[in-house]
C-alpha cells in the first residue's frame, strides 16, 4: 500500500474518531458534524425489507446486484441525471458509497498513477488511492469562490501520469455545486487528456437556490469516460442499510463487477429489496427531507451571519464549511473546546485538508430545535474562546 497520501489522512481520521468517541460520553451532546440524517427510513422501505425476510429471501445474489434493482437504478439515473444506461451491463450495486468509491478507484488507477482531486475532500478518497498504489494530486479551491473547482487549475495539474479526475458535486465538506459550464469544461479537459472522470453524486437531490447539478455522464462525450457513484444513504435516510451503485461504460463496469465479486460478492439481499422499494415507491419522503434541509440550511446560515462568521455558500448537500480563523486557533482545538465546554460536536476542517485548519464542517442533520440550541451553544463557546485570547 502506498504511503503517498496516508499520513495527513490518518491524522484527520484519528482526530474524528477521538471526538466522536468523546461525544458518546455526553448525554446532552448535539451532533452537528456527522453526516447521518436524523429522519427515520421511510416506512414503506422498512416494510419491503420485512416482507423480504418473511418470505425467506436469504439467498446469494449476483455480484452486480438483483436485476430488478439494477433496472430501477437505470430508470432513476435517466430520470434524475439524464444518463442512459443498460441495467444488465452498466450498473453495479454496492455496499454503500464507500465501497463504490473503492471499486471505481481500483478499476481506473494503479501503482504510479495520479488522480486529481479538488480540496478540501473526504478522507476516504486518499484511503482508496493508497490502496490502489496511486497518488492524490490536490487542486486548491477558495472560499471567496465558494470552493469552486476551477477548470484552469485542474488543467494545470494534469501530468503524463494523470489517469483520472475525481469530481464531488454537491461537495463534501464544503457543499459547492459544479456549474453546468464548469462541468462541460472539466469534461473537455478529460477528453483532451484521455482521463476518466469519477463522479461522486451522492447529494444530487439536495441542491439549493438557483444552483444546478449536472452529471458529466449526461453530456456529449461524457458517458464513455465517466464512472458515476450514488447511494440511498442520504437521499432516503438509509445510511445503515449500505446500498449504493456505480454506473458507467460496459467495458469498465465489467472490471468493476469482477472486483465486486472478488471483494464482497453481492450486497445483502434484504437491503436490495429495501432499495428497490425506495426507488420505485412513493418519493414524497425525499421531497419532505429536501424541504426540511432547505429550511435548516437557512437557519444555520442566519445564525452564522449573526455571529459574524464567514463561510462558503452551501449550494447543495447537507453541510456548511465555516471559517473560524478569527479565533486564531487550529480547528481541532476549537472543535475540542466546543465539545468539552458546550457539548456540541462539529468536525475540524483539518480532517478534510491540511490547508483548512481554520474551518469547521457543520451539518444541518438535526431537528430545528436541536439546531437552534446547538448554534446557541456554539455562540457561547466562541465567545469564551475570544474572551480568553
In order of their start, the domains of the chain are 6-40+284-387 (3.90.1150.10), 43-280 (3.40.640.10)
pTM of the shown model:
0.94
Q: In the numeric block, which cell numbers belong to residue 319?
A: 453541510
Which whole number is the average pLDDT over 66-78?
99
Tracing cell 462541460 back to the chain, one arrives at 184
Q: List the strands of the sheet with 196-200, edge to edge.
A: 91-94, 244-247, 226-231, 196-200, 162-168, 114-118, 135-139
CA 327 from chain centre, in angstroms, equals 28
Query: Rounded to the nearest 5°, which phi and psi values hold at 110?
Result: -145, -170
d(CA 168, CA 148): 11
d(CA 247, CA 59): 24
**Pairing outcome for strands 344-345 and 196-200:** unpaired
For residue range 132-151, list pLDDT tens digits in order: 999 999 999 998 999 999 99
Q: Assess contact for 205 and 290: CB atoms under 8 A.
A: yes
**Banded model confidence at residue 1, pLDDT cuts 50, 70, 90:** very low
For residue range 210-254, list pLDDT tens digits in order: 999 999 999 999 999 999 999 999 999 999 999 999 999 999 999
What is the per-residue pLDDT for 2? 46
**Banded model confidence at residue 9, pLDDT cuts 50, 70, 90:** low
For residue range 356-381, list pLDDT tens digits in order: 999 999 999 999 999 999 999 999 99
d(CA 204, CA 112): 32
d(CA 359, CA 310): 10
d(CA 97, CA 103): 10
Sequence-separated (6 or more) residues with CB below 8 Å from residue 212: 177, 179, 180
Q: In the numeric block, which cell numbers belong to residue 363?
A: 451539518
d(CA 227, CA 165): 10
Sequence-separated (6 or more) residues with CB below 8 Å from residue 329: 385
What is the per-residue pLDDT for 12? 62
Amino acid at each position: 500500500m502506498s504511503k503517498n497520501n496516508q499520513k495527513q489522512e490518518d491524522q484527520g481520521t484519528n482526530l474524528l474518531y477521538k471526538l466522536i468517541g468523546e461525544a458518546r460520553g455526553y448525554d446532552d451532546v448535539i451532533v452537528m458534524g456527522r453526516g447521518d440524517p436524523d429522519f427515520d427510513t421511510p416506512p414503506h422501505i422498512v416494510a419491503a425489507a420485512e416482507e423480504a425476510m418473511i418470505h425467506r429471501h436469504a439467498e446469494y445474489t449476483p455480484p452486480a446486484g438483483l436485476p430488478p434493482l439494477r433496472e430501477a437504478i437505470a430508470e432513476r439515473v435517466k430520470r434524475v441525471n439524464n444518463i442512459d444506461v443498460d441495467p444488465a451491463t452498466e450498473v453495479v450495486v454496492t455496499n454503500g458509497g464507500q465501497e463504490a468509491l473503492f471499486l471505481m478507484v481500483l478499476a481506473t488507477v494503479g501503482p504510479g498513477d495520479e488522480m486529481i482531486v479538488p480540496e478540501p475532500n473526504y478522507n476516504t478518497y486518499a484511503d482508496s488511492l493508497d490502496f490502489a498504489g496511486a497518488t492524490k494530486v490536490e487542486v486548491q479551491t477558495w472560499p471567496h469562490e465558494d470552493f469552486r473547482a476551477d477548470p484552469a487549475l485542474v488543467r494545470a495539474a494534469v501530468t503524463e501520469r494523470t489517469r483520472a479526475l475525481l469530481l464531488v458535486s454537491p461537495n463534501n465538506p464544503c457543499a459547492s455545486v459544479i456549474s453546468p459550464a464548469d462541468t462541460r469544461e472539466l469534461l473537455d479537459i478529460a477528453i483532451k487528456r484521455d482521463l476518466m472522470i469519477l463522479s461522486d453524486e451522492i447529494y444530487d437531490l439536495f441542491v439549493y437556490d438557483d444552483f444546478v447539478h449536472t452529471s458529466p455522464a449526461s453530456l456529449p462525450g461524457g458517458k464513455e469516460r465517466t464512472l458515476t457513484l450514488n447511494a440511498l444513504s442520504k437521499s432516503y435516510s438509509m445510511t445503515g442499510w449500505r446500498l449504493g451503485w456505480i454506473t458507467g461504460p460496459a467495458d469498465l463496469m465489467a472490471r468493476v463487477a469482477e472486483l465486486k465479486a472478488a471483494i464482497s460478492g453481492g450486497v445483502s439481499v434484504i437491503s436490495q429489496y429495501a432499495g428497490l422499494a425506495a426507488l420505485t415507491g412513493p418519493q414524497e419522503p425525499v421531497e419532505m427531507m429536501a424541504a426540511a434541509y432547505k429550511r435548516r440550511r437557512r437557519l444555520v446560515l442566519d445564525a452564522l451571519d449573526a455571529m459574524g462568521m464567514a463561510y462558503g455558500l452551501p449550494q447543495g448537500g447537507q453541510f456548511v464549511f465555516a471559517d473560524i480563523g478569527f479565533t486564531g486557533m487550529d480547528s481541532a482545538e476549537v472543535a475540542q473546546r466546543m465539545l468539552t465546554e458546550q457539548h456540541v460536536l462539529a468536525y475540524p476542517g483539518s480532517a478534510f485538508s491540511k490547508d483548512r485548519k481554520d474551518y469547521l464542517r457543520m451539518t444541518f442533520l438535526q431537528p430545528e430545535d436541536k439546531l437552534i440550541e446547538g448554534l446557541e451553544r456554539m455562540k457561547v463557546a466562541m465567545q469564551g474562546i475570544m474572551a480568553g485570547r
